[in-house]
Structure 1
Amino acid sequence: MDIKHELFKHCKSFVNKRVQTVEEIISSNQKALHSETKSSAGDKHETGRAMLQLEMEKASQQLEGISKMNEILSKIDFSKESKKAHLGSLIFTEKANYFLSISAGQIIVDRQKYFAVSVSSPIGKLLLGKSENELISFNGVNQNILKIF
């Protein structure tokens, strides 16, 4: 089993679950918006509709973010090999293992911990472009880069 492909599958699954959750929220809010009927308490009705519309806008923004995550994942090229950390790299340090992709948190593969991190996250920015045996300092902790795949 190729660890990078397994991590990639976890990231794809993470994105798909987020899409499903946000779409359920949108669908639920649309139903609630359509079921709201004009009542004698006009102000209360308008406030309810406004709140639902705000929720819908927030969910739409989340969908945009998820779409960007999918776009980033589609740019990962597993055939590209480099000794410098890049999108799609698997980076082993003495403190942690990182998969430069999207911010999907901790992933466990074969009882080994990996952190899927975005290249635009603070740790991702630090790792990007680094080589093996380089030292990085994150949150006051020094980490030596042992291996990059």
Structure 2
Amino acid sequence: MQELKLSLYQLCLNFINERINTAETALKQAREASNDDTKSSAGDKYETSREMMQQDIDRNKRLLIDAEENQRVLTSIKDVPFSDSARNGSLVITDQGKFYLSISAGQLQLNNETIFAISAVSPIGKMLLGKQKGSSFDFNGKKYLIKEVA
């Protein structure tokens, strides 16, 4: 089970590293475009263009900050010891699917099965926290039975 969790961790890390690279590249391109526009334009008619570029820079900064925060969350759960209760870093196996409490990375495919990487602060993540094998809960009108916590 530990090997499975390590593989899931690596998939999440790859996911977040790709998001960081994408955000950094977009931020760099937006800054370069803004600098080029500032050098080549004069007058009020370009104010709207510059404002749009600034909004693009700000949006990419927020994406980068969010991705870096997710990277910190992953780092904090890398070597989480086994616990009977679900917590950040746990793999929770239910009768309705498997959930890796980590970051919101969506569906991960591993060994021909789907495992959902979810944040502990997501609605279903909050439902899973603290639950143990044999516990059940209702989410979106569906009943979940926890078969295993690893």
TM over 0.5: yes
State the TM-score, normalized to the length of structure 2: 0.93
Note closer, same or farther for the CA distance 1:27–1:79 as it changes in structure 2 (3 Å cut): closer
| One-letter amino acid of the structure 1 residue matched with residue 92 of structure 2 | I
Match of 2:72 in 1: 71
Give me the CA root mean square deviation: 1.3
- 1:38 has 2:37 as partner: no
User: Hey, which bits of structure 1, 4+ residues long, moved more than 4 A?
Assistant: none
State the TM-score, normalized to the length of structure 1: 0.94
Match of 1:50 in 2: 51
TM-fit CA distance, 1:44: 3.0
Name the structure with the higher helix share: 2
| One-letter amino acid of the structure 2 residue matched with residue 142 of structure 1 | K
| One-letter amino acid of the structure 2 residue matched with residue 91 of structure 1 | V
Distance (whole Å) between structure 2 residues aligned to residue 66 and residue 10 of structure 1: 15
Please list every run of 5 or more consecutive structure 1 residues that lacks an aligned counterpart in the other structure.
Answer: none
SS in 2 for 1:75: helix
Mapping of residues 1-12 of structure 1, within 5 Å: 2-12=3-13
- 1:114 has 2:126 as partner: no
TM-fit CA distance, 1:77: 4.5
Q: Taking every aligned residue pair, what percent have the same amino acid on both sides?
A: 33
Match of 2:125 in 1: 124
| One-letter amino acid of the structure 2 residue matched with residue 24 of structure 1 | T
Mapping of residues 11-30 of structure 1, within 5 Å: 11-30=12-31
- CA deviations on 1:74-117 (whole Å, 9 max, x unpaired) are 11143511110011100100011000000000001101110000
Note closer, same or farther for the CA distance 1:21–1:77 as it changes in structure 2 (3 Å cut): closer
Aligned length: 147
More divergent stretch after superposition (58-67 vs 8-17): 58-67
| One-letter amino acid of the structure 1 residue matched with residue 121 of structure 2 | S
Distance (whole Å) between structure 1 residues aligned to residue 45 and residue 116 of structure 2: 46
Match of 1:137 in 2: 138
Match of 2:88 in 1: 87
SS in 1 for 2:104: coil
TM-fit CA distance, 1:35: 1.1
SS in 1 for 2:10: helix
TM-fit CA distance, 1:46: 1.1
SS in 1 for 2:32: helix
